[in-house]
A and B are shown apart, each in its own frame.
Chain A
Amino acid sequence: MAITNSTCVKRKLPPCRVACPAHVNVQGYVSLIQRGQFREAVELIRNDMPFPAICGRVCFSPCEDACVRVNLDQAVAIRALKRIVADIEREQGRVKPKPIPKTRIEKVAIIGAGPAGLAAAYELAKLGYPVTVFERMPEAGGMMRYCIPDFRLEKFVVANEIAYIKDIGVEIKTGIEFGNDKTLESLRNEGYKAVFVAIGTQLSRKMNVPGEDLEGVIHVLEFLRAVSLGQHVDVGERVAVIGGGNSAIDSARTAKRLGAKEVMILYRRTQNEMPALPHEIEAAEREEIKFHFLVAPKRIIGETGKLKAIECLRMRLGEPDASGRRRPIPISFSEHQYEVDRVIPAIGQIPEKSCIPAELLDEKTRRALIPVDQITMETRIPGVFAGGDIVTGPASIIQAVGAGKQAAVSIHRYLTGQDLKAGREEVEETTWVKDWESLRKKSRRYEAPIEKPRLSFEEAARFLEETKRKAMFEAFRCLGCGPCSECLAETDFCEEDKAVVDENRCSGCNICAIVCPVGAIKKNEEGVAQVNEDLCKGCGICAAHCPERAITMRRFTDENILSYALTALRRDDLL
């Protein structure tokens, strides 16, 4: 079922779901939270992707950016809700899922147990394929496990999500390096019919300034990985982090936690151009991390092989460049120095070229990324697919999950001999909320949170009851702007109830069009009401108001409601 959602069959979806690269059914789980069905909500998220708790913590939540509610007050705190339901499930004990039976014989190999690889493995395992994931590091999880520090994403959370993937029958083999232990050739010889390469970008980008090889310069990924592995890292007293992305903020906050007295972040543009998430920047500011904007390192000065200072140039902003941000231009003779013990360059990640088979690479591209078909994720070798950071360059978890899901669909089609591309167009977005004026007129009960909504529920585990209540309250802010049947809540109850017009009885009085909250009923040229079933949500207000009683609901007719009421009455007599 989930796999059909991810194929992006042309169907209408609410904006939040369209915005999510993995097309998670946001409206669905939010409306399940509304009625307190937290476990069902987690299950619904797992239908679409296997990382509810991880994404609930570190996703950059494009769904919230797309949320229609923003026009009224503020977006629904979708990410916080996801975190809460996942946390509640973990706290109360997750029910171990039954392994999905292997109904297919074609073996699939996945290189890299990061978000892309695991998502693809998860989707394929659900389809019944025997999937093996090969991972170089001692534990699965990729960047989620090794490069996001503990204070943002706890290791046990990652371990729990990966345990779920293992439980449904995905085999994960760690300590196996692609390129050394396994190659495309050897995998093919072992009988793997399809390969998904999701090895990510594992090297830190070098600054290429003099003195970068000095002792005391430790690059971001090496730094975060060493900390994650529990190795001793001496951060000294004064640390300079170069860069403005999330990993720069992460390493600065990590360094602070490791005992550095003074941590500064040097960024060559201004705060507006920083790619890091705004609330991460705020958190760093709260932790007294200093920001120096419009400075770029020129050289790193050492004394007897030890780091002493970093020399920087001041910058000014020029014309916007290819990324849409204003290009920093160095100001001549503006050299100045910061005295530091450690420098952590965090200016980006690059793939490890030695791992990638040469035949997958495009000779022309400067960066060692694997060129793939944008929709099918297929590389130039049939049966070999690639996705995640190794294709897009460093991106986010949810984008990697989306790529993994797409690749899983492609692999399934490839192995069953279907056309890889057919029917995988873009999804269409829909929402009934167009009439903002009438919604604005209502004085809403909910007050906009003082803090950003993304920070609404910090102490999730401790105040469980209070949290649940808050979560339900927050979920209630969802306008449910997608079409009916999107919420999946209580499908047994509503089963996509739709209004039906008896055209012979309709007098064309237009009452139904007036009362319909979602604008699903319009009169046609003959003056007969017509129901647009894409929009109808089955509330039945039209049926209650039709003067000719020409409208009935498909399922909850007046007779049905009455019979329920009467059975209820008779129950008394039976006793």
Chain B
Amino acid sequence: MSSGKPKIVCFMCNWVFCDETQLGINQKHRIPFDVNTVRVMCIGRIDPVVILETFERGADGVLLIGCTPPDCHFVEGNLYAERAVKLLKKLLALTGLEPERLELRWSSPIEEVKFIQILNDFVVQIQKFGVSPLARERPDEKVLLNILAAKNAAADFRLRVLTGREKELTENMNVYGEKISQEEFNALIDEIVKVEFIRQKIHLLTRQKPLSVKELAVIIRMKPALVLRHIVDMRRKGMIALDHVEETTPLYRALEV
């Protein structure tokens, strides 16, 4: 952001896409210069990992634009995007980036005015936060580590299965005939997001060099007992292994999954 302009990536659904020719009907509506648009078939196409990677590569803000519910060319693709964004905001809050750097907005191809308004509002919103710590000459290492951990967490099997099945689990019943309320489900997701984020962070840290529980506890600012609990779980899952023992302190090393 050397020129003082925020770098904004806007993913938008093919079916709400307003291109310049279409907006050209009304010359006063223009896509703000700072916004770079990427068109996808459906906003539900956007994988959380892709969004986190966009942040990692230095985007100041990411805006998703989908069709206004209940309309979606693919029935419910926009609602899937909504769930993904909900999850991503939780992850972003853990990384130290402002969750408001990511927004999901609804529009439709016949609402050019609203469409431009959304973009302009988002530019203002991002200007408030300023340049992303990852877009500087030397990216903030802590945030970078956090984003990488979040990216791995978003690629995690458990989390993805749950988000994919959210509608099924909360609206219908699972195979045991139990129905999970939305609140229960949200609590579950919150828990898993936190746990998964910490574990991925430990995994990333121990990949660089073997670390002890105490060292890890200092870096991620957590009680050593809790860190140890995660390490036990991770060892069971085959994510981490004992490297060697220095005096009486065991040092752990990440395993490639």
Contact (Cβ within 8 A) B164 A565: no
Rounded to whole Å, the gap between the CB of B98 and the closest CB of chain A is 18
Contact (Cβ within 8 A) A539 B54: no
Contacts of B46 in A (CB 8 A): 544, 561
Contact (Cβ within 8 A) B49 A545: no
Contact (Cβ within 8 A) A35 B45: no
Instruction: Flag A544-573 by CB within 8 Å of B: 1 or 0 each.
Output: 111111000100101001101110110111
Complex interface residues of chain A between 515 and 566 (CB less than 8 A to chain B): 515, 517-518, 537-541, 543-549, 553, 556, 558, 561-562, 564-566
Contact (Cβ within 8 A) A469 B110: yes
Contact (Cβ within 8 A) B80 A540: no
Cβ of B210 within 8 Å of any chain A Cβ, yes or no, is no
From A146-154, A370-378, A397-405, A437-445, the one touching the partner chain is: A437-445
Contact (Cβ within 8 A) A544 B22: no
Contact (Cβ within 8 A) A515 B40: no
Contact (Cβ within 8 A) B160 A439: no
Cβ of A277 within 8 Å of any chain B Cβ, yes or no, is no
Instruction: Flag B9-44 by CB within 8 Å of A: 1 or 0 each.
Output: 101001101000010010000000010111111101
Contact (Cβ within 8 A) A443 B110: no
From B70-78, B201-209, B225-233, the one touching the partner chain is: B70-78
Rounded to whole Å, the gap between the CB of B71 and the closest CB of chain A is 6
Q: Which of B25, B44, B50 contacts A541 (CB 8 A)?
A: B44
Cβ of B68 within 8 Å of any chain A Cβ, yes or no, is yes
Minimal Cβ-Cβ distance residue in B for A555: B41
Cβ of A575 within 8 Å of any chain B Cβ, yes or no, is yes
Known: A556-B41, A556-B45. A541 touches B168 (CB 8 A): no
Rounded to whole Å, the gap between the CB of A423 and the closest CB of chain B is 33
A547 to B164, CA, bound (A): 8
Instruction: Flag B51-78 by CB within 8 Å of A: 1 or 0 each.
Output: 0011001110000000011111111110
Contacts of A556 in B (CB 8 A): 40-41, 45
Contact (Cβ within 8 A) B110 A472: yes
| Chain A residues bordering chain B, tally (CB within 8 A) | 51
Contact (Cβ within 8 A) B22 A36: yes
Cβ of A427 within 8 Å of any chain B Cβ, yes or no, is no
A537 to B57, CA, bound (A): 31
Interface residues on B, range: 35 or more
Contact (Cβ within 8 A) A34 B45: no
Cβ of B47 within 8 Å of any chain A Cβ, yes or no, is yes
Cβ of A494 within 8 Å of any chain B Cβ, yes or no, is yes
Q: Which of A445, A545, A549, A561 contacts B163 (CB 8 A)?
A: A545
A235 to B21, CA, bound (A): 53
A545 to B36, CA, bound (A): 25
Complex interface residues of chain A between 472 and 507 (CB less than 8 A to chain B): 472-473, 476, 480, 490, 493-494, 497
Contact (Cβ within 8 A) A568 B40: no
A134 to B7, CA, bound (A): 66
Contact (Cβ within 8 A) B74 A537: yes
Rounded to whole Å, the gap between the CB of A435 and the closest CB of chain B is 9
Known: A34-B109, A565-B54. A511 touches B161 (CB 8 A): yes
Contact (Cβ within 8 A) B74 A539: yes
A276 to B203, CA, bound (A): 75
Complex interface residues of chain A between 410 and 464 (CB less than 8 A to chain B): 438-439, 442-445
A538 to B77, CA, bound (A): 12
Q: Which of A511, A517, A562, A571 contacts B36 (CB 8 A)?
A: A571
Rounded to whole Å, the gap between the CB of B126 and the closest CB of chain A is 13
Cβ of A187 within 8 Å of any chain B Cβ, yes or no, is no
Rounded to whole Å, the gap between the CB of A68 and the closest CB of chain B is 13
Minimal Cβ-Cβ distance residue in B for A569: B7
Known: A443-B70, A509-B161, A565-B59. A539 touches B9 (CB 8 A): no
Interface centre among A36, A518, A556 (most CB of B within 10 A): A36
Contacts of B176 in A (CB 8 A): none
Contact (Cβ within 8 A) B164 A561: no
Cβ of B222 within 8 Å of any chain A Cβ, yes or no, is no
Rounded to whole Å, the gap between the CB of A208 and the closest CB of chain B is 57
Known: A558-B47, A558-B49. A515 touches B36 (CB 8 A): no
A36 to B108, CA, bound (A): 12
Minimal Cβ-Cβ distance residue in A for B83: A545
Contact (Cβ within 8 A) B77 A476: no
Q: Which of A541, A545, A553, A564 contacts B160 (CB 8 A)?
A: A545
Contacts of A575 in B (CB 8 A): 3
Contact (Cβ within 8 A) B44 A544: yes
Minimal Cβ-Cβ distance residue in A for B19: A35
Contact (Cβ within 8 A) A558 B50: yes
Contact (Cβ within 8 A) A539 B73: yes
Known: A541-B45, A547-B164. A569 touches B17 (CB 8 A): no
Contact (Cβ within 8 A) B84 A544: yes
Cβ of B155 within 8 Å of any chain A Cβ, yes or no, is yes
Contact (Cβ within 8 A) B50 A562: yes
Contacts of B69 in A (CB 8 A): 442
Contacts of A515 in B (CB 8 A): 44, 80, 164
Minimal Cβ-Cβ distance residue in B for A465: B25
Q: Which of B40, B45, B109, B160 contacts A36 (CB 8 A)?
A: B109
Rounded to whole Å, the gap between the CB of B133 and the closest CB of chain A is 15
Cβ of A514 within 8 Å of any chain B Cβ, yes or no, is yes
Q: Can you list 21 contacts pairing A with B, beta carbon distance less than 8 Å?
A: A35-B17, A35-B22, A35-B109, A445-B70, A476-B71, A494-B14, A494-B41, A517-B77, A539-B77, A540-B44, A541-B74, A541-B80, A544-B45, A548-B157, A549-B155, A561-B45, A566-B54, A566-B57, A569-B54, A569-B58, A571-B36
Question: 5 closest pairs, A vs B, by CB?
Answer: A568-B36, A540-B45, A442-B70, A511-B164, A547-B160
Which residues of B line the A interface, CB within 8 A?
A: 1-3, 5, 7, 9, 11, 14-15, 17, 22, 25, 34, 36-42, 44-50, 53-54, 57-59, 68-77, 80, 84, 108-110, 155, 157-158, 160-161, 163-165, 167-168
Which residues of A line the B interface, CB within 8 A?
A: 34-36, 438-439, 442-445, 465, 469, 472-473, 476, 480, 490, 493-494, 497, 509, 511, 514-515, 517-518, 537-541, 543-549, 553, 556, 558, 561-562, 564-566, 568-569, 571-573, 575
